[in-house]
Amino acid sequence: MIAIWLLLIAGVGVLVVHRYRNRRRLPPGIRPLPGPRSLPFIGRVHDIPAVGSWLKFYEWSKVYGPIYQTVMFGTVHVWISSEAIAHDLLSKRAIVYSDRPMIPNLPDNRTSGDYLALLGSTETWKRQRKLCNHLMHTSSLADLHAYPTLERDRFLYLLYQDPDNYIEWIEQFTSRAVSRLCWGTARPSQILRHTTLGLLETISPSGALPNVASFLRHLPAALSPWKRKERARHALEDRLFHANIGFVEESMARERADPSFIHTFLRSKGSADDRERARWGDAAEAMHVVGLMAIAGALTIGSPIQSYLLAMCHYPDQQRALQDEIDGVLGGRCPQWEDREKLPLLRAVVKEVIRWRPPVPTGIPHAVEKDDIYNGYLIPAGATIHALEWGITRDEAVYPDAETFNPRRWLDPAFPTFREPLTQFPNLHGFSQFGFGRRTCQGIPVVEQDLFLTMGGMAWAFDIRKRRDPRSGAELPVHWNDYTPLLIAKPTPFLFDALPRSADKVARMRDMSEDARARARECGGGADVAMDIAQFRPDLGDCIYADDVADGEADGVGSVGDTRVSMAGCDAAGSEPDLSFSDASTARSSDEPGSDLESDKLRLMMELPLDPRLGCKPAMPHVPGSWNWT
Ligand code: HEM
């Protein structure tokens, strides 16, 4: 207790000195940026909500303008809500604006080579960024979109079988697809999900107290639950990454390795060309670069996929227009990556979902290394610079009627965002939502494929619509903008119907899933190279994921805590549940509104405690016949 008091006093002392130092004379004509008034010592933190903080920062932009500052515990934070200003500073003056701030709850983030995206502007960062570019480029040539397609085909059939568990299937899709890209196998995906969520908590302002009350970072590990948690998480992640690279090495030794980022790296290391061998650093570094790419993919892509479902609930006309495009161009076939030039509306929907509900609404902050003057305002060295993505996407000059989900803004010359040729545009390259300047997101090719395939697949297969009340038949409300509070925001759960559009599409989905399963059996070293996933289970504590039910164990009954959920219409062999089709009059049996199963599902969705980090339930029932470890 005494230690805590001493630390508090020391913390206040540091803040006083910091404040005194910051209060300096400005050259004539130079002003500090406008912003809300600060309280002594704490600055302006007391009225920033823990949930939806970006809405408050956006509200302030309406009062103080598209660039303003707040002070939080002695640090100046600059908030930018205009894409043009973000480019002026973060892109055109990238030489001083490409640093990252120190994260109090992960104080070595600027120097440790373990987290490319969080590294300061150092030589390690430059080397790692080059390696990341090289891996991304080489793999796009190597036809790696076969992996997202395989996982999309698995995902669609799971969503058809059990739409109420959509968050689980989406998170499985993203983590499995990126695991395959990184290591050529989906087996590490559930542990990856676990460690990745932990990291998101570690670095998010709302995820760990020291990120707001930064003096708490000085607490010794014995007194800091945050430090202990992060150490355990990091140790698990390290073991996972070692196991993954070991798996690829062994697969390569047996000539069974599938293409992956790590495979590409190891092949360059084995090259006869000395320069090629020396170019990309050592295996330990590559292991972390690829690990960070996996983390980035597993964290983010689920957000727009969930937001697509939300948008379709609110905008049935847009869904119909998208289905018309897909049906008209593909004649009943499910979209494939090769179809992208022919489907501009689908690409517009992908981009508009991201604009409408930005996955990283407060942006990933940069730091400025030297004092800078912008339009007569001082931006002091060390300030944290936020491109406020939520605000940028609400700039009415660029996005008229910004609150409305309108994919046509990317396709119609009447809108400022229109760009030709439509075989190429819209696409995600250069989109503000992926950052600015030298720190721009390196995963755009992966995001583009994953979202095109999943959103296109869902529009082809399902009518997404609001669920009806089992008793009154009235539409159940679906929230408009309730998002989880961490750095990557996802919609909180909502109920909807995913009605398959025809019996034929159900049969196609089943076939596609079966084909995907056969393709998956060929991947990941096949049966020759085993990956010991069980070694990690003890580290997962109480967390149970649906994939923990191994293949073949499914019995048509899943459990959630103490509640057993039976999947009516399914048997152990994985036959289909009874469902109605949107274009047929087939009556629902067990799944009909008002049935016991329906009320069971509703109760589960509403009553189970949310995992506050993920915004989803801690454990989900298993779908019989789904396949997990291949
Ligand atoms: C919807 C999905 C995604 C969104 C919205 C997103 C957004 C972002 C944003 C806003 C940044 C920070 C840019 C800046 O500081 O100016 C970033 C950085 C980064 N992203 Fe993504 N990202 C996504 C998916 C991915 C994926 C799938 C990968 C890798 C496979 C990836 C890899 C990275 C890397 C390596 C960085 C760090 C760049 C650096 O600091 O130099 N991202 N991303």
pLDDT digits (tens, 9 = 90+) for 427-456: 999 999 999 999 999 999 999 999 999 999
What's the gap in Å between 178 CA and the centre of ligand 1? 14
**DSSP collapsed to 3 states, 367-409:** ECCCCEEECCEEECCCCEEEECHHHHCCCCCCCCCCCCCCHHH
Q: CB of 388 closer than 6 A to ligand 1?
A: no
545-572 CB burial, b ≥16 within 10 A, e <16:
bbbebeeeebebebebeeeebebbbbee
Q: Is 80 in the pocket of ligand 1 (CB under 6 A)?
A: no
Q: Is the ipTM of this complex over 0.95?
A: yes
Q: Which mutation among 140, 307, 441 tests ligand 1's pocket best, with the greatest number of atoms within 8 A of CB? A: 441
The pLDDT tens digits for 221-244 are 889 999 999 999 999 999 999 999
- How far apart CA 608 and CA 545 sit, in angstroms, is 15
Q: Is the CB of 407 under 6 A from ligand 1?
A: no
Mean pLDDT for 71-95 is 96
Distance 317 CA to ligand 1 centre (A): 32
Contact 333, 457 (CB under 8 A): no
In whole angstroms, what is the distance from residue 424 CA to residue 408 CA? 15
Ligand 1 pocket check for 116: Cβ under 6 Å: yes
Cβ of 293 closer than 6 Å to ligand 1, yes or no, is yes
- Residues 409 and 419: their CA atoms lie apart, in Å, by 10
pLDDT tens digits for range 183-208: 999 989 988 988 998 899 999 888 88
Cα 48 to its chain centre, rounded Å, is 23
Tell me which residue has its CA closest to atom 43 in ligand 1.
441
More reliable by pLDDT, 145 or 83? 83
Q: What confidence tier does 473 reach under pLDDT thresholds 50, 70, 90?
A: confident
Annotated binding-site residues for heme read 441
What pTM was computed for the model?
A: 0.87
| Residue found under tokens 């289905």 | 323
Feature table: binding site: 441
Token pair, residue 220, equals: 């010794």
Closest-CA residue to 130 (of 273, 256, 279): 279
Query: How much distance in Å is there from the Cα of 219 to the middle of ligand 1?
Result: 31
| CB of 443 sitting under 6 A from ligand 1 | yes
The finding on whether 136 has its CB within 6 A of some atom of ligand 1 is: no
Question: For 587-603, how does the pLDDT look when each residue is reduced to its tens digit (9 = 90+)?
Answer: 333 344 444 444 444 44
Strands 462-466 and 384-387: unpaired
pLDDT score of 484: 93
Residue 39 DSSP one-character state = B
Residue 469, CA distances (Å) to 8, 496, 500, 567 in order: 53, 11, 20, 20
Tell me the three state secondary structure of residue 164: helix
Yes or no: say if 589 and 560 are a contact pair by the CB < 8 Å rule: no
Sheet holding 67-72, edge to edge: 67-72, 75-80, 384-387, 366-367
Tell me if 181 CB under 6 Å of ligand 1.
Answer: no
The atom number, within ligand 1, closest to the CA of 292 reads 35
- Specify the residue with its C-alpha closest to ligand 1, atom 28: 443
Residue 517: CB partners within 8 Å, gap ≥ 6? 154, 627, 630
The dihedral sign for the CA sequence 274, 275, 280, 282: positive
Is residue 78 a contact partner of residue 381, using CB atoms and an 8 Å limit?
no
Residue 438 Cα: closest atom of ligand 1: 41
Ligand 1 centre distance from Cα of residue 510 (Å):
34
Q: To which CATH superfamily is domain 126-362+395-607 assigned?
A: Cytochrome P450 (1.10.630.10)
Question: What ranges do the domains of the chain cover?
Answer: 1-47, 126-362+395-607
Query: CA–CA distance from 561 to each of 193, 412, 542, 611 (Å)?
Result: 20, 50, 11, 13
| Cα 128 to ligand 1 centroid, rounded to whole Å | 14
Burial readout 24-41 (b: 16 or more C-beta within 10 A, e: otherwise): eeeeeeeeebebbebeee
Model pLDDT for residues 377-403, shown as the tens digit of each residue: 999 999 999 999 999 999 999 999 999
- Write down the pLDDT at residue 280: 75
Identify the bridge partners of residue 106 per DSSP, sorted by sequence position.
Answer: 103
User: Quick check: CB of 129 below 6 Å from ligand 1?
Assistant: yes
Residue of minimum CA distance from atom 18 in ligand 1: 441
Distance CA(521)–CA(511), nearest Å, equals 15
Among 125-134, 264-273, 318-327, 463-472, whose mean pLDDT is lowest? 264-273
Sequence-ordered list of residues with C-beta below 8 angstroms from that of 353, at least 6 positions apart, any chain: 304, 307, 308, 311, 405, 451, 455
- What are 278-284's contacts with CB under 8 Å, separation 24+? 280/130, 280/131, 280/134, 281/127, 281/128, 281/131, 283/245
Ligand 1 pocket mutation, candidates 434, 453, 490, criterion most atoms within 8 A of CB: 434
**Which sign, positive or negative, has the C-alpha torsion 521, 527, 533, 534?**
positive
